[in-house]
Chains A and B, each alone.
Chain A
Amino acid sequence: MTTSAAGERTLRGRAAIAGVGETNYYKRGAAEDPEFVLALKAILTAAQDAGIDPREIDGFASYSNDRNDPSRLAVATGMARCVVVFRALAQGQFARFGQGPRLPGVSGEPAYTMPYGLMSPAQMFSMRCMRHLHETGVSRDTYKAVSLAAYHHAQNNPRAVMHGQLLSPEAYDEARWIVEPHRLYDCCMENDGAAALIVVPAERARDLPNTPVYLLGATTGSEHRAGAPCHNAPLYATACFTTLAPRLYEMAEVTPGDVDVLQSYENFTGGVVMSIIEHGFCTPEQANEVLTFENLIAPAGRLPLNTSGGNLAECYMHGLELVIEAVRQIRGDSPNPVSGARVSMVTSGPMVTPASNAIFGSEEVL
Chain B
Amino acid sequence: MNAAANHLPAGLPAPRPARDGLDTPYYEGLLSGKLLIQRCTACRGWQWGPEWICHRCLSFDLDWAETEAAGRIFSWERVWHPVHPALAQHGPYLVVLVELPQADHVRLVGNLLGDPHQPVPIGGAVEGVFEHRPDGEPPYTLLQWQLTG
Contacts and interface: CB of A to CB of B under 8 A. Distances in A.
B80 A131 contact: no
A116 B8 contact: yes
Given A112-B108, A115-B142, A106 B76 contact: no
A134 B122 contact: yes
A108 interface: yes
Contacts of A231: 75, 97, 107, 109
A128 interface: yes
Interface string B7-19: 0100011111111
Given A111-B16, A127-B75, A236-B75, A230 B48 contact: yes
A176 B48 contact: no
Contacts of A179: 77-81
Contact of A116 (B47, B95, B137): B95
A117 B87 CA distance: 8
Interface residues of A, number: 44
B126 to A, nearest CB: 14
Interface string B57-82: 00000000000000000111111110
Contacts of B142: 115-116
Given A115-B15, A117-B12, A131 B110 contact: no
A107 B97 contact: no
A186 to B, nearest CB: 12
A122 interface: yes
Given A101-B13, A104-B137, A128-B75, 7 more contacts: A105-B13, A111-B13, A118-B77, A126-B77, A130-B122, A225-B55, A232-B106
Interface of B: 8, 12-19, 23, 47-51, 55, 74-81, 83-85, 87, 92-93, 95, 97, 106-111, 122, 137, 140, 142
